[in-house]
Amino acid sequence: MKKIVYFLGIGGIGMSALARWFQANGHSVSGYDKTATPLTQALEAEGIRVHYDDAVASIPAEVRAHKDQTLVVLTPAIPPDHQEWAWLRGQGYDIRKRSQVLGVLTAGRRTLAVAGTHGKTTTSSMVAHLLHHAGVPCAAFLGGISVNLGSNLLLPESIKNGLTDSEIQSLTTEDIPVVVEADEYDRSFLTLYPDIAIVTSTDADHLDIYGDKESLVESFRQFVGQIKPGGTLILNHTADQSVAAAVPAGVRVIRYGLSPEQGPELYADQISAHGHQFRFHLHGPQGTVAGLELAVPGFHNVENMLAACCVAQLEGVGEEALKAAVAAYRGVKRRFEFVLTAGEKVYVDDYAHHPREIEAFLRSMRALYPGKRLRVVFQPHLFSRTRDFAEGFAQSLSLADEVVLLDIYPARELPMPGVTSEMILSRITAPKKSLQTKAQVLAAAETDLDFDVLATVGAGDIDQLVPRLKNILDIRWNGVEA
């Protein structure tokens, strides 16, 4: 592997995990991103050089001087007219997509991959946490910041306190598993050849890439078709069941769901909520584990934990270690994250950006806070997703008492004529609804406290509101500045 690694889009959650891996393994790492964020600032604090202007002159001198020793890692979010990318292409640099690099790093290693149009970040973080907590040496590349790990990267303990040649070599051997979030966007997960794969969902998404749901499902069939001989597919019962038929001969299929009535062999029963905690019994091919306690709420998280526990059991984690690990799990940043509580007042932040995710989140909020007035601030992500799922977004958001919509976050897309947040707003049936700017949301938090529970939801830059809303509400609810 080349000694110099340069990232275009280093602040992306998946890109930053790779940057941290290369940094930990002694490579010279630097990169570009459009704007500074807490994540890019964390990378800089760890010794990774980051700049924010798209200019060839800003590319580090060592990258420009040593083409043959440099690997350039590219995120799909970089636009085609990006000046640095154009120059690097023109100079003949070795440029790989993030997914290609991840495929190289996992080749020849025991790979535990979590795929799905939603749920994969939480579930992969659960798998990594369960193994790590139980003392199973493993690595993990995650699509979110694990609260337990404080990072989106987990390295085996042997390389955390200085590197030796033998320790670096240990990271590439088959006996240390690597947990990978397998992203279906742009068919990225087809670079992976897992030993165990979880598929959490195959709902329609990324139709700007796939065109229709059948093409999306076909990519999942291709993915599970790459499971290694003797491997296992853990498949959500709601996923397209044609996926199971695509596994190679000798690959075991385990279906999972929340209750035995749904027909899976891996399921939960006696599910109950106690404050923010969910308790349940797990039943599956490896036996029954009674009395599991999950501190991260949500019925969907119980379901995610079922799949993660199954992987941990397959990797040799015993019952008592599993129970302790589940109880210690604290989630992923921006996944059902409790930002502030004050008596009966609550503020929660969540990354949900697909109608099914929003529905699962809001139904869990309703179960946790029955009878409470729920205000949801949602930022649609992508023009194409808004166009394709406007009706679904409206239906799921209508579970709230009040819905506030921000403008669409474009990410990698250009505006589409006629596609605005109004497409969703006009279909929402909640008692109160509005379209607001971020400034208006903050102003409303100062004066309009006609709610018991607030939720900010979305995958764009709505997270920029979180610390400011927390500060305002802390003053208003507690009289204390955060």
Q: Is 116 annotated as a binding residue?
A: yes
- Amino acid identity, residue 395? Q
User: Is 162 in contact with 200 (CB distance < 8 Å)?
Assistant: no
Distance CA 93, CA 280 (A): 53
79: burial class by Cβ within 10 Å (0-12, 13-18, 19+)? exposed
User: Is 386 in contact with 380 (CB distance < 8 Å)?
Assistant: yes
Beta strand ranges found along 303-354 (DSSP E): 337-342, 345-350
- Give the residues across from 338 on adjacent strands: 348
Q: Is 228 annotated as a binding residue?
A: no
User: Is 399 in contact with 478 (CB distance < 8 Å)?
Assistant: no
Of 309, 345, 350, the C-alpha closest to 331 is 350
Q: Is 121 annotated as a binding residue?
A: yes
Q: Is 120 annotated as a binding residue?
A: yes
Per-position b or e across 339-352, b if 16+ CB within 10 A of its CB: bbeeeebbbbbbbb
User: Is 348 in contact with 365 (CB distance < 8 Å)?
Assistant: yes
Distance CA 113, CA 106 (A): 10
| Annotated binding-site positions for ATP | 116-122
| Annotated binding-site positions | 116-122
